[in-house]
C-alpha cells in the first residue's frame, strides 16, 4: 500500500478544507446524465463534515482549454450535489479571487461550497504556481479524493500542496489505491486482464507491466488488429498503427517469455464501410478480407475468453472490445461485462466505456470494484504511483 496521509490522521475541527473531487460527469442540455462520480465522493464529504469544519469542493469538467465556457459550468453539478447531500450547496461562480474568498469566510459548517470549473483557467493544467497559490489561500487543509484526475500534475492536484500545510487522501482515493496496489502485488491466480480500446500507444505501459503479473492477457478493440498484423495476419481495412507493429511483436515475444497466454480475436464482427448504419457480418476465421473492417470480437472469441473469465481468481478489465457506441458492434463488450459479472473472481473494471457496458448490461453491482479512473488506474498499475499521491507527502513551501 502506498503510504499517504489519510483524513483520520488529521484534526479537522474548525478548519477550512479544500477537497479536490472528480466531478467530471457527463452533461446533456445542462443536466447531469450520470452522477456516479458525485456519489463516489459522498462518503468522504460526510466523513469530514461536523466539528465546525467547512468544506470547499473543486473539480474540472470537460475540456474548456483555459477559457470560460458555459457548456462546462459546474452549476448543474452543484444542483445535483444538493439533491444528494444533507447540506446546503453554495455555488461559487469562480474558483479563485475575492468573491470566492468572501464566500468561504461567510460559509457556515452546514454548507458546502462548490467552485466553478478549475479548467476555466489555463493555470490549472499548466500546474502554474501563482494559480496554485490563489487556489490555496483560504484553506488550512487539502484533501485529494479525485482518483480519476490524480495521474495529472495539475495545480489542484500537485501545485496546491505547496501552499497548504496539511494534506490527506480521501476515502475514495485511498480505496482506489488499495485495490490497484493489490492487483500489482498480490492478485490471486489465475489473473486475467482484458484490455481493449482503439490505440496500442495508449496502453503500451500497462501492457508491459501486466506481462509480469497476469496469466492470461486478452487484447480486443481496434488495438487487436495491430497485434494481428504483427503476427502476419490479414486484417483487411481494419485500423492498424503501423508504427507500433514492431512494439506489438515485442509484447507478443515477452508474453511467451513470461509464459503468459496472449489471446487475440479468433473471429470478428466486421463491416465493409465504417458507418453506424452499415450491415455487419460474422467472419469465422482470424483473417479478414481486403475490404473488411473489424468492429467487434466475434462469438467464438467471446466464448473462449468467457471460459478463462469463469476460471479466473482475479480479473482486470479496461477498454471496450469493439465500437461500443454502436449497438451493432456492442455484443462483444456487453458479453465480456456479463461474463465478468458472473465470475466469482475478484474483479476490477475501469475506463468509461467499460463502466458504461456494465451499466448497459445492468451488472455493475456484481463487480467487486468499479474504478472511477480509467487512465489513473492504468498508470498506477504501470508505475506504482501517481503525481497526486506523491504530492500528498510534500511539505508547505517556505
For residue 284, what pLDDT is reported? 92
What lies within 8 Å, CB to CB, of 314 at 6+ separation is 183, 187, 188, 189, 190, 191, 192, 345, 346, 347, 348
Residue 244 annotated in active site: no
Residue 133 annotated in active site: no
Nearest-angstrom CA–CA distance, 293 and 273: 7
Residue 352 annotated in active site: yes
Nearest-angstrom CA–CA distance, 22 and 112: 16
For residue 60, what pLDDT is reported? 98
Three cell numbers at 9? Answer: 490522521
Nearest-angstrom CA–CA distance, 119 and 66: 5
Identify the active-site residue in 352, 360, 383, 394.
Answer: 352
For residue 4, what pLDDT is reported? 82
Could you tell me the pTM of the whole model?
0.91
For residue 2, what pLDDT is reported? 59
pLDDT tens for the chain, 398 residues long, are 457 889 988 999 999 999 999 999 989 888 998 898 999 999 999 999 987 899 999 999 999 999 999 999 999 999 999 999 999 999 999 999 999 999 999 999 899 999 999 999 999 999 999 999 999 999 999 999 999 999 999 999 999 999 999 999 999 999 999 999 999 999 999 999 999 998 888 898 899 999 999 999 999 999 999 999 999 999 999 999 999 999 999 999 999 999 999 999 999 999 999 999 999 999 998 899 889 999 999 999 999 999 999 999 999 999 999 999 899 999 999 999 999 999 999 999 988 888 888 988 999 999 999 999 989 999 999 999 999 999 998 654 43
Tell me, letter by letter, the H, E, C secondary structure of 213-278. CCCEEEECCCHHHHHHHHCCCCECCCCCCHHHHHHHHHHHHHHHHCCCEEECCCCEEEECCCCCCC
Q: Where are the domains of the chain?
A: 7-175, 187-383
Per the DSSP assignment, residues forming a β-bridge with 56 are 18, 113
Identify the active-site residue in 298, 335, 350, 375.
Answer: 375
Instruction: For residue 74, give the nearest of 126, 21, 133 by alpha carbon.
Output: 21
Residue 37 annotated in active site: yes
For residue 394, what pLDDT is reported? 64
DSSP strand pairing (191-195 vs 314-318): parallel
DSSP H helices in the chain:
36-48, 75-84, 98-106, 122-125, 129-136, 171-185, 204-210, 223-230, 245-257, 299-311, 331-342, 352-360, 374-383, 387-391
Environment class of 291 (CB within 10 Å of its CB; exposed 0-12, middle 13-18, buried 19+): exposed
Q: What CA–CA distances, in Å, run from 182 to 178, 179, 185, 304, 376?
A: 6, 5, 5, 27, 15
CATH class of the structural domain 187-383: alpha beta
Identify the active-site residue in 199, 254, 300, 383.
Answer: 199
For residue 398, what pLDDT is reported? 37
Nearest-angstrom CA–CA distance, 86 and 111: 9
For residue 306, what pLDDT is reported? 98
Give the CATH number of domain 7-175.
Answer: 3.40.50.1260
Nearest-angstrom CA–CA distance, 207 and 120: 34
Positive or negative torsion for Cα 117, 121, 125, 130 = negative
What lies within 8 Å, CB to CB, of 390 at 6+ separation is 158
Nearest-angstrom CA–CA distance, 200 and 271: 22
Q: Are both 7-175 and 187-383 of the same fold? A: yes
For residue 397, what pLDDT is reported? 41
Identify the active-site residue in 37, 134, 152, 244.
Answer: 37
Amino acid at each position: 500500500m502506498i503510504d499517504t496521509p489519510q483524513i483520520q490522521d488529521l484534526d479537522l475541527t474548525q478548519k477550512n478544507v479544500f477537497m479536490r473531487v472528480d466531478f467530471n460527469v457527463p452533461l446533456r442540455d445542462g443536466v447531469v446524465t450520470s452522477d456516479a462520480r458525485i456519489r463516489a465522493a459522498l462518503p468522504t464529504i460526510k466523513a469530514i463534515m461536523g466539528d465546525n469544519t467547512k468544506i470547499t469542493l473543486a473539480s474540472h469538467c470537460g475540456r474548456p482549454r483555459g477559457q470560460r465556457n458555459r457548456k462546462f459550468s459546474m452549476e448543474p453539478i452543484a444542483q445535483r450535489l444538493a439533491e444528494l447531500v444533507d447540506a446546503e450547496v453554495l455555488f461559487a461562480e469562480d474558483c479563485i479571487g475575492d468573491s470566492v474568498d468572501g464566500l468561504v469566510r461567510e460559509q457556515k459548517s452546514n454548507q458546502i461550497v462548490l467552485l466553478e470549473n478549475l479548467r476555466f483557467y489555463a493555470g490549472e493544467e499548466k500546474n502554474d504556481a501563482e494559480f496554485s497559490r490563489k487556489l490555496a489561500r483560504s484553506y488550512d487543509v487539502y484533501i485529494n479524493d479525485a482518483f480519476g484526475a490524480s495521474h495529472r500534475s495539475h495545480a489542484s492536484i500537485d501545485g496546491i500542496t505547496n501552499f497548504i500545510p496539511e494534506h490527506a487522501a480521501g476515502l475514495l482515493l485511498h480505496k482506489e489505491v488499495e485495490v490497484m496496489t493489490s492487483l500489482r502485488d498480490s492478485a490471486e491466480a489465475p489473473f486475467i486482464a482484458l484490455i481493449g480500446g482503439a490505440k496500442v500507444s495508449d496502453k503500451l505501459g500497462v501492457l508491459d507491466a501486466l506481462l509480469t503479473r497476469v496469466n492470461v492477457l486478452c487484447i480486443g478493440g481496434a488495438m487487436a488488429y495491430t497485434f494481428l498484423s504483427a503476427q502476419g495476419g490479414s486484417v483487411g481495412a481494419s485500423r492498424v498503427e503501423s508504427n507500433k507493429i514492431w512494439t506489438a511483436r515485442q509484447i507478443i515475444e515477452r508474453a511467451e517469455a513470461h509464459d503468459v497466454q496472449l489471446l487475440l480475436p479468433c473471429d470478428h464482427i466486421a463491416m465493409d464501410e465504417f458507418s453506424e448504419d452499415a450491415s455487419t457480418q460474422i467472419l469465422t476465421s482470424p483473417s479478414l478480407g481486403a475490404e473488411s473492417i473489424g468492429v467487434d470480437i466475434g462469438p467464438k472469441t467471446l466464448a473462449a475468453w468467457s471460459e478463462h473469465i469463469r476460471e479466473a481468481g482475479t480479473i482486470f478489465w479496461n477498454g471496450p472490445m469493439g465500437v461500443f457506441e454502436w449497438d451493432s458492434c456492442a455484443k462483444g463488450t456487453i458479453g465480456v461485462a456479463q461474463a465478468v459479472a458472473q465470475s466469482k473472481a475478484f474483479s476490477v473494471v475501469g475506463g468509461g466505456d467499460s463502466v458504461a457496458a456494465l451499466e448497459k448490461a445492468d451488472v455493475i453491482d456484481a463487480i467487486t470494484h468499479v474504478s472511477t479512473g480509467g487512465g489513473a488506474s492504468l498508470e498506477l498499475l504501470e508505475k506504482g504511483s501517481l503525481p497526486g499521491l506523491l504530492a500528498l507527502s510534500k511539505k508547505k513551501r517556505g
